[in-house]
Amino acid sequence: MNGYDFTLAGATLTAPGSGALWWPARGVLVVSDLHLGKSERIARRGGAALPPYETRDTLTRLAADLALSDARTVVCLGDSFDDIAASQALREEERQWIFRLQAGRRWVWIEGNHDPGPIEFGGAHLAELPITPLIFRHIARSGASGEISGHYHPKATVSLRGRTVTRAAFLIDADRVILPAYGTYTGGLRAQTPVLRDLMHPQAVAVLTGPHPTAIPMPR
Amino acid sequence: MVRGELRAIVCTGSLDLGIDWGDVDLVIQIGAPKNVKRLVQRIGRANHRYNAPSKALLVPANRFEVVECVAALEAVLDGDLDGDPRGAGPRDVLCQHILITACAGPFAADMLFAEVTSAGAYSTLTRKQFDACLDFCATGGYALRAYDRWQRLIQRADGLWQLRDPRATRAIRMNIGTIQDTDTLKVRMKRNRGGKPLGEIEEGFAATLTPGDTFLIGGQIVKYEGLREMTVEVSRDSAKKPKVATFMGTKFATSTQLSARVQRMFTQPSWPELPRHTAQWLELQRTHSQLPRPGHLLIESFPHDGRAQTVIYGFAGRNGQQTLGLLLTKRMEEMGLSPLGFVATDYATLIWSIDPVSDAAALLDPDALLSGMETWLAGNAVMKRTFRASATIAGLIERNSPQARKSGRQATFSSDILSDTLTKYDPDHLMLQITREEALRGLVDFGRIEEMLARTRGRIDHLILPRVTPLSAPLFLEMGRVPVKGDAEERLLAEESRRLMERSGLAQITPAPSDKPRWRVGY
């Protein structure tokens, strides 16, 4: 698998095309916005009965990234569950699967706006996590540096000889990285959105996920 | 028309049938009629009285359509009508009917089944098929029974079915209908907010625009500035080559009978019945390339616009040619020719690729085409479009309501993800069965391709030419280009990334993405 390599606050990081972020020196794998249990929450709230397989699909991809990296630490940057009730309604085999993925490594659940309270899975539950020189949190704060966050589900569009390609994307500048959403049932927010434009420096790049992660200047 | 001086109505096929207005003087048919019966019906809307002749003016939009119009008129005079047999009633519509019935009040499954099967199109519906649709409406119908607590429909103690949550009524009723509207966006001058919009463009076209692009709308050329609250903002511009906004709508395929007539016309030594410019166009094609011969398949390859172009004149109807485009681009992907996209008309498919086609016989090998069919069906663009339509009709996804589009659009994700997920984890699901069924008889129209293969039986006329041919020229103006996702997309993406990073100067300060599989090292 290819990765896009870059440094943030002196730490060398790699963005493989899966949407996860890998910090080889510390053996840390970061994923954001898994939104596990989303289809259950939509049905519970009277919406459509969407194919109930997104948790399985997200975990399959996470398991593949873990197998490839053999990460010592996993940081989930919040909105790991679509809401607290969804975290309690996961199927037994999916719960067991999460426990198996957690076995033998440090696991940190950062709180997100969808899952602010404690959840019943093992691992640490934190508002934010500093691992020098980086800081991991759900929502980016302006003025922070060495910050790794999620929340916004950024996506970017490139125009290629008359056709457009839109993909989930990392936004990267000298002070922060905003991760794309990793969950299967997640939409994206265009990088041009004012809030993202204001957060990122003018030299920021967007790294499109996919078989070959590709950097472009962040669309503004 | 705006000043009321010309009393006319502009319409789609919606006024073809069943309209009984006595005082329509003239019907103006824009484009090819596609179907002899349809043409007769359309002409018949004029002077719809027993004692007055009907009059119509046919306006073909390109030379190919001139030929088709003349062929269709000859067919009308010969009394040679066409038409396809009607298929069974679509099951996505049945699902919608079940949900709407539930909105009106509790119902008994037996009675609803009896009622539905009394309609002609559903007279062959089995109870098993009906129950599968009912189960889909109630539980989603998944192999993984995930929604027992949150069923949409529940069966009461007295056996009647009702909505679990009566508040769902509103959402279900908002979703009524089987005609798929394309989402459109208003176009407005920038800094003229509140002013009259210039018009509307389809979302699909808006997605292809980048700031600085120019296009034609409301009789003027404008420059795309950006998207703001679901409105396309533009400014005046005097560009020479604006883009033309596309409005897709629905397209019918030319009938088999009419296609055969057009093919027969191509064999004539001269065309006194055609206008001079069209006859000359056909003669020019004969000089520079050749006209399609009956029983043979004509294929032309030539470079144009910096890409390799290949045209296959299969005469299989728009949907059949569309499917042929999908099957052939998949074969080209396997052969390493990096296809980029294609466009189909009723007569031909134009494919553009990075590398040219040199062995047309290998490309059109019938066995390879047929064997690839099933696996191919799962992942292609036509299936995804059909899935989206069927899933909307059946109530699995909701139409974009005006309110929902204004607010958090970013929260929605594409129906492609749903179809991919179902294909992967629940391949026998009802929704995929319906999609396959609808696509095969509608957009896929595989029968016409089999007919084409039987008609030509490997007799391929492959011409490799230096430039665009007369017959292929109208294809380059055709709307509805289908991009091919694959190797070519990755190649172009890498190219564009390098270009943008160089131009912005970011390439000097950011390490370039490496091709080496580096992310495994370092732990």
Interface contact A174, partner B, CB < 8 A: no
User: Looking at chain B, which residue has its C-alpha nearest residue A161?
Assistant: B492
- Band of pLDDT at residue A133, cut at 50, 70 and 90: very high
Strands B339-344 and B482-483: antiparallel
- β-sheet bridge partners, residue B198: none
Rounded Cα distance, A49 and B418, in Å:
11
Rounded Cα distance, B477 and A78, in Å:
49
B515: left (phi over 0), alpha (psi -120 to 50) or beta: alpha
Query: Helix (H, G, I), strand (E, B), or coil: what is residue B274?
Result: coil
Instruction: Look at A51 and B426 and tell me if their CB atoms are within 8 Å.
Output: yes
- Mean pLDDT to the nearest integer, A123-148: 95
pLDDT number for residue B523: 32
* For testing contact with chain A, the best of B232, B340, B519 (most A CBs within 10 A): B519
Residue numbers of A between 92 and 151 with CB closer than 8 Å to B = none
Beta strands in A84-139 (DSSP E): 106-110, 124-126, 128-131, 134-137
Instruction: Give the closest-approach CA distance of A66 to chain B in angstroms.
Output: 11
Residues of B in contact with A52 (CB under 8 A): 140, 142, 144, 146-147
Strand B220-228's sheet: what is its strand order? Answer: B199-202, B184-189, B231-236, B220-228, B214-217, B243-244
Element (H, E) at B232: strand B231-236
If one counts every other C-beta atom within 10 angstroms of the C-beta of residue B185, the result is: 18
* For testing contact with chain A, the best of B137, B510, B514, B518 (most A CBs within 10 A): B510
Rounded Cα distance, A181 and A153, in Å:
5
Instruction: Look at B421 and A53 and tell me if their CB atoms are within 8 Å.
Output: yes
Mean pLDDT of chain A: 92
Rounded Cα distance, B447 and A97, in Å:
46
Q: Tell me: pLDDT of A91 over 50.
A: yes
Give, in degrees to the nearest 5, the angle at Cα B305 between B297 and B281.
Answer: 50
CA distances from A191 to A163, A170, A200, B38 (A): 18, 10, 10, 48
Instruction: Look at B424 and A57 and tell me if their CB atoms are within 8 Å.
Output: yes
Residues of B in contact with A162 (CB under 8 A): 208, 481
CB of B483 closer than 8 Å to CB of B338: no
Rounded Cα distance, B30 and B16, in Å:
13
Instruction: Look at B501 and A215 and tell me if their CB atoms are within 8 Å.
Output: yes
Rounded Cα distance, B73 and B75, in Å:
5
CB of B310 closer than 8 Å to CB of B338: no
> Look-up: residue for tokens 């004692």?
B51
Instruction: Look at B523 and A3 and tell me if their CB atoms are within 8 Å.
Output: no
User: Looking at chain B, which residue has its C-alpha nearest residue A187?
Assistant: B413
Output phi, psi for B412, to 5 deg: -85, 155
Instruction: Look at B501 and A164 and tell me if their CB atoms are within 8 Å.
Output: no
Instruction: Look at B519 and A14 and tell me if their CB atoms are within 8 Å.
Output: yes
CB of A188 closer than 8 Å to CB of A181: yes
| Of A46, A70, A211, Cβ closest to residue B165 | A46
Listed by start position, the domains of chain B span 13-78, 91-174, 184-244, 289-487
Listed by start position, the domains of chain A span 3-217
pLDDT number for residue B300: 96
Q: The complex's ipTM?
A: 0.87
- β-sheet bridge partners, residue B482: B342
Instruction: Give the closest-approach CA distance of A211 to chain B in angstroms.
Output: 8
Residues of A in contact with B146 (CB under 8 A): 39-40, 43, 49, 52, 91
Burial level of B103, CB count in 10 A (0-12/13-18/19+)?
middle
Burial level of B252, CB count in 10 A (0-12/13-18/19+)?
middle
Rounded Cα distance, A51 and A53, in Å:
6
Residues of A in contact with B147 (CB under 8 A): 40, 43, 49, 52
Higher-confidence residue of A220 and B471: namely B471
Residues of B in contact with A47 (CB under 8 A): 171
Strand A28-31's sheet: what is its strand order? Answer: A3-8, A11-16, A21-23, A28-31, A73-76, A106-110, A124-126
- Mean pLDDT to the nearest integer, A157-180: 87
pLDDT number for residue B318: 85
From first to last of its 523 residues, chain B has per-residue pLDDT tens of 778 888 888 877 777 777 777 788 899 998 888 889 889 988 888 888 888 888 899 999 888 899 999 999 999 999 888 876 677 899 999 999 999 999 999 999 999 999 999 999 999 999 999 999 999 999 999 998 888 888 999 999 999 999 998 888 988 998 888 877 666 788 888 876 567 788 888 776 776 677 788 888 877 888 888 777 668 888 888 877 787 776 655 567 788 889 999 999 999 999 999 999 999 999 999 999 999 998 899 999 999 988 999 999 999 988 889 888 888 988 898 888 989 889 988 899 999 999 999 988 888 887 777 776 666 665 566 677 788 889 999 999 877 655 554 443 444 567 888 988 998 999 999 999 998 888 777 667 777 888 888 888 889 999 999 999 999 998 988 777 777 767 677 777 888 888 888 887 777 665 544 444 444 433 3
Output phi, psi for B432, to 5 deg: -75, -35
Helix, strand, coil shares of chain B as percentages rounded to 5? 40, 15, 45
Instruction: Look at B521 and A24 and tell me if their CB atoms are within 8 Å.
Output: yes
| Amino acid at position B409, single letter | R
Rounded Cα distance, B178 and B175, in Å:
9
